[in-house]
Amino acid sequence: MANKKTLPSYIECDYLVIGSGIAGLYFALNAVEHGKVIIVTKKKASDSNTWLAQGGIASVLGDDDSFESHIADTERVGAGLCDHEIVETAVKEGPKCIKDLAERFSVSFDTRTGDSSYDLGKEGGHSHRRVVHVRDLTGKEVAERLLEAAKNHPGINIYEDCMAVDLLSSAKYGGANACFGAYILDKSTNEVSTIVSRVTVMASGGAGKVYLYTSNPDVASGDGIAMAYRIGGAVANMEFIQFHPTCLFHPEARSFLISEALRGEGGKLVLESGERFMGEYHPDQELASRDVVARAIDDVLKRTGEDCVFLDMTHLDPVFLQKRFPNVYETCLSYGIDITKQPIPVVPAAHYLCGGIKTDSYGRTSVQNLLAIGEVAYTGFHGACRIASNSLLEGLVFSRRAGKVARDLGWQNPSVVASWSAAGAIDSDEAVVVSHNWDEIRRLMWNYVGIVRSTKRLQRARSRIGLIREEIKEYYWNFKINSDFLELRNLALVAHLIIASAQSRKESRGLHYMLDYKDPVESMQKDTVFVRGSGPPPL
């Protein structure tokens, strides 16, 4: 397949997959057995959170481990909001997916020296070693194998540099609210095409770019959540944003992730003086769950006035560090930091969205024929906080299950589909409006809707995001669209959903910590669900 295909102005398929991370690719490779697949991805197919996932995939593979233990760990970290049946499904089906990756797609997971068994890592929140990995490049290695298989399959077509604008809904044609495809902007031509599909699969990833500092790639602007919400899809638990405790603190590093697996192998969090501090916050110290560690670092930085804390690996064998963590070692070295000799400067950064488009255990949303899988979906697996390395597991298990039910979903498209119209819209010479609003949203979210929140901060954020969205709405109807503006439009809506969700949860639970309400409240042990037209945020 050529690196770049121009998207036809109109095309039909069985399955339209929006996104090229682990969930989208694995769905495509399972669903192609019974239908034609088109994958659209707004940059290169390799631009996804999957490719940056270092730690690995949590799964019960050791003789000393059990499904019950993995379920208990996941639910404990999820702080009362995990769906037990979903957790049980993901945990029990995980080993099958690992086996499938190894046997069907030749993913070479690390094994122990002199032994064919997997070399399992331990990460925060887990009671056992259960993280299967490929050094510290697990996501990249898995995605490469899946992408290679997808590119070589005659039933799968991949269109890069193509961004979804909006989903197509039969409700606008007088029928039931069912999705039958999407309008897609080909960024190379700036023309909008129409893709009509029997099933549309949202696999567009998370929304880390809604924050000023994030471990996510530039593509993570919450597009899928915004598009699903606009056509009536239920969106749940958007207040639960996971901040990864340890991203590299360096002016040129753009928040490079320092894997939790380093702490799993004995890394210690210290102040500049070398003093450890996690013992003051939790008995599990560095291996406490991510919400605990991120809040602890945030508290230390505010209390001491220091710019960062440090992850110290210097007490470990240098040869082991270079072999186990080649990506982290080489990247840090490129910034003048030898992790075998120097502690790594780290700070928290927005990392993972635990909420998303509400689905069942097969990826089905509240909109007929629209499936959602991976980080964009809220299955109930993570609850109020994701335990380490359960993300790739979720992407595999539920994309595989979605592939099974997709075959039985029927056509819903109208006999005549309207083409995209930009009538009356003109080219804009106000690009500064887009860049300014983009920057303002990310700063206000970091300052007011971050690791620690308050009623006053949330209200300030809510007032400002409302004004920004009004500006965006006016811009949308007057000017021709481009990918930068589309991302801004989606980012603003997702920010609004996060703020409104956070305001509705008057307690502290998991990743959502309120200065006004520091304790969990039993009556609030339920999901926060928004559907367009049935309550805030107003449009």
Task: Give all strands (DSSP E) within 238-343, no chain letters.
Answer: 241-248, 268-270, 309-312
Catalytic residue selected from 290, 364, 489, 509: 290
φ, ψ of residue 182 in degrees (nearest 5): -160, 155
User: Which residues sit opposite 344 in a β-bridge?
Assistant: 311
Contact by Cβ (8 Å): 412, 42: no
Where do the domains of the chain lie? 10-54+137-240+354-406, 249-350, 431-520
Contact by Cβ (8 Å): 211, 350: yes
φ, ψ of residue 257 in degrees (nearest 5): -70, 135
104 has catalytic annotation? no
* Calpha distance 287→67 (Å, rounded): 20
Q: Does the domain made of 249-350 have the CATH classification 3.90.700.10?
A: yes
**Other CB atoms within 10 Å distance of the CB of residue 230:** 16
* Calpha distance 452→459 (Å, rounded): 14
Please give the distance of CA 198 from its chain centroid, rounded to a whole number.
25
Please count the CA atoms within 13 angstroms of the CA of 108 that sit on its side-chain side: 1
* Calpha distance 95→41 (Å, rounded): 29
* Calpha distance 507→509 (Å, rounded): 6
Contact by Cβ (8 Å): 27, 203: yes
CATH of domain 10-54+137-240+354-406: 3.50.50.60
Q: Is 196 left (phi over 0), alpha (psi -120 to 50) or beta?
A: beta
Q: Which strand (E) or helix (H) includes residue 68? A: helix 67-77
Class of domain 431-520: mainly alpha
Contact by Cβ (8 Å): 239, 528: yes
Contact by Cβ (8 Å): 328, 136: yes
Q: Which strand (E) or helix (H) includes residue 250? A: none
Q: Is 115 left (phi over 0), alpha (psi -120 to 50) or beta?
A: beta
Q: For tokens 């498209």, name the residue.
A: 413
Tens-digit pLDDT string for the chain (539 aa): 445 788 999 999 999 999 999 999 999 999 999 999 999 999 999 999 999 998 899 999 999 999 999 999 999 999 999 999 999 999 999 999 999 999 999 999 999 987 889 999 999 999 999 999 999 999 999 999 999 999 999 999 999 999 999 999 999 888 889 999 999 999 999 999 999 999 999 999 999 999 999 999 999 999 999 999 999 999 999 999 999 999 999 988 877 999 999 999 999 999 999 999 999 999 999 999 999 999 999 999 999 999 999 999 999 999 999 999 999 999 999 999 999 999 999 999 999 999 999 999 999 999 999 999 999 999 999 999 999 999 999 999 999 999 999 999 977 678 889 888 776 666 666 667 788 899 999 999 999 999 999 999 999 999 999 999 998 888 777 778 889 999 999 999 999 999 999 999 999 999 999 999 999 999 999 999 999 987 655 54
DSSP-based three-state secondary structure for 534: coil
Quote the tokens at residue 468. Answer: 């920004």
Q: What residues contact residue 229 under an 8 Å CB cut-off, 6+ apart?
A: 235, 357, 493, 497, 530, 531, 532
* Calpha distance 179→197 (Å, rounded): 8
Contact by Cβ (8 Å): 41, 25: no
Is the full-model pTM beyond 0.75? yes
